Chain A
């Protein structure tokens, strides 16, 4: 396949997998520490320029934690020169308010800040490091700089009960948008699934509260029920290699943040090819593009153009075969795996994200 790749609108630039936080639901690969930051400043600048040439409009600078890189200002400036809308996805540290001001000056246009809980000690406990106060300082600075602020809170068994407080916090911080992201079980979250999985009652109560709060003035609230409790899978990434492209810290171009774990797929690096080729021609990018790869029941399903068969990574991690229907779908022959997982007794403890051995 060549020439006829869809236009990517969004570049997810994972500048580094390093992060001062140790959240047990991190979506980075479990063996993240094996992946080095292989792209120099000039490499990122070239990637951003090539992304704009492909039709990309947005770039999300993320990680890990993007502010661990010393050259973030230069990268933001390069994105601004390429006329990309530049969005910083940060945990709030090691970023400082002063540095955020520098980034705004370099052309940064909006900020997404992760907060782990509305209760400071709980937020610090999940993050595995004292961070809550620094996060609030970043939020205040973003508002002072008139940068639109999105607050992102990953939800799970240990904080769902405080969803109203979370919404109150986002309102107090002057966020324009609040993403209430129920944990998706990839990466570290899959490792810690039994500790994070909420009960159906918790979700029902949270759903009631969120719907009520959504009608009040305040931030736009994005609330998506976890797919383990739904009937249909999520339209993961808006379809495989369809709208979003990811460049990982080692330069690997991927259709999503987790796809490097899928065996047998060949992806290319921006150090070896230009971005257009990595997006259009790498065999891995074309493996699940469109609908030709779909098995039953997806291939004849009326939902296939909406959910694209769900998540390939989830299919692989739960069934061992990335080409099967996402087991989150009630129509999947493997759906029992999901049912069993959500009904398991909760595990009282989790394992923090950490570096694995070399």
Chain B
């Protein structure tokens, strides 16, 4: 026997509660961004990765359009694609994001080719498109309801950039400004759609689950950026042991992680000084022949992070990165 549906007020409150608890406004990376604690290169990394997310949004909205037989819905929803893509070249949210990328000092071509996109960030963005692809209209719309909280975070962000990151030209913040208007409008429509169509308890539960999933996706996106821009080191209680066969194992409370392949070399660079991105660059220079070494580094840091074997200390805002460390600078470039 299925349970009675929640009254609309209670259902709306349950959706908002999910956002209050799980939306990425609580993520440590965003908290630090808004407190002015991010380094310039951490901001750059976030902007470059987030561009990939922005490019997935119109694709996701296109998928949602195909799910509705209702012309009025499609007329409303297609506006989102126009908002992002613009009516002609040089307009729209994607263009505004590229303007932000210019402003923070990124090379536009490199951003457009997704060169700096981290594997974990890419997986998170792709997971959103896949979610919408694999779920029905109601759940897809419900997953977009993170917009309920986006207007608020945009105001915080604009204020934080103007206050703390004076090296970012204010004109670069136009994307955030545009979203302070669009997000509340979009979310009002999304919310009324969900309240109207989720009339059974089971549908309501599916909507709540979809919104939770979306919050997880946004969270894991920031986890990836956070790891890459923070400085990993082994947690103090970890025990690094050598096995009889010469391989290594990191022993932790309740688990042990075997370190294979390039892991030992990556781990040796987790010194609490280098960021995840620094480690990836260092190894890419050391092993120019290994095409996927950056991906290996970031995936390794993710695995070790989720096994609670590594801790990640944010780098201070004034950190600029040192380029090659003395070790690499002294060593002859293996490629030359």
A9 near B254 (CB under 8 angstroms)? no
Given contacts A147-B237, A148-B237, contact A176 B308 (CB under 8 A): yes
Stretch at the interface among B53-61, B181-189, B245-253, B315-323: B245-253
Given contacts A58-B251, A85-B251, A215-B212, contact A109 B239 (CB under 8 A): yes
Q: Please indicate which of the listed interface residues B212, B244, B254 has the most CB atoms of chain A within 10 Å of its own CB.
A: B254
Interface string of B103-145 (1 = CB under 8 A from A): 0000000000000000000000000000000000000000000
Chain B residues, CB < 8 A from A55 = 244
Which residue of B237, B249, B251, B254 contacts A177 across the interface (Cβ within 8 Å)?
A: B254
Chain A residues, CB < 8 A from B244 = 55
B244 nearest CB neighbor, chain A only? A55
Task: Let me know if A57 is at the binding interface, CB within 8 A.
Answer: yes
A57 near B256 (CB under 8 angstroms)? yes
Task: Let me know if A83 is at the binding interface, CB within 8 A.
Answer: yes
A176 near B241 (CB under 8 angstroms)? no
Q: For the complex, what is the distance from the CA of A176 to the CA of B311, rounded to whole Å? A: 14
Task: Let me know if B332 is at the binding interface, CB within 8 A.
Answer: no
A104 nearest CB neighbor, chain B only? B237
Chain A residues, CB < 8 A from B21 = 216-217
Task: Let me know if A146 is at the binding interface, CB within 8 A.
Answer: yes
Given contacts A83-B239, A85-B239, contact A110 B249 (CB under 8 A): no
Interface members, chain B 70-107 (any A CB < 8 Å): none
A146 near B236 (CB under 8 angstroms)? yes
Given contacts A83-B241, A147-B237, contact A176 B253 (CB under 8 A): yes
B242 nearest CB neighbor, chain A only? A83
Given contacts A109-B239, A146-B236, A148-B237, contact A87 B253 (CB under 8 A): yes
B256 near A9 (CB under 8 angstroms)? yes
Chain A residues, CB < 8 A from B241 = 57, 83
Task: Let me know if A150 is at the binding interface, CB within 8 A.
Answer: yes
A107 nearest CB neighbor, chain B only? B239
Chain B residues, CB < 8 A from A110 = 237, 253-254
Which residue of B22, B236, B251 contacts A57 across the interface (Cβ within 8 Å)?
A: B251
B249 near A57 (CB under 8 angstroms)? yes
Q: For the complex, what is the distance from the CA of A110 to the CA of B239, rounded to whole Å? A: 11
Can you give 5 A-B contacts (C-beta < 8 A)? A57-B256, A58-B256, A85-B251, A85-B256, A215-B212
Interface residues of B (CB under 8 A from A): 21-22, 212, 236-237, 239, 241, 244, 249, 251-254, 256, 308
10 closest A-B pairs by CB: A110-B253, A85-B251, A109-B237, A148-B253, A57-B251, A85-B239, A57-B256, A83-B241, A148-B237, A110-B237
Query: Given A58-B256, A109-B239, 19 other A-B contacts at CB below 8 A?
Result: A55-B244, A57-B251, A83-B239, A84-B239, A85-B256, A109-B237, A109-B253, A110-B253, A110-B254, A146-B236, A148-B237, A148-B252, A148-B253, A176-B253, A176-B308, A177-B254, A215-B212, A216-B21, A217-B22
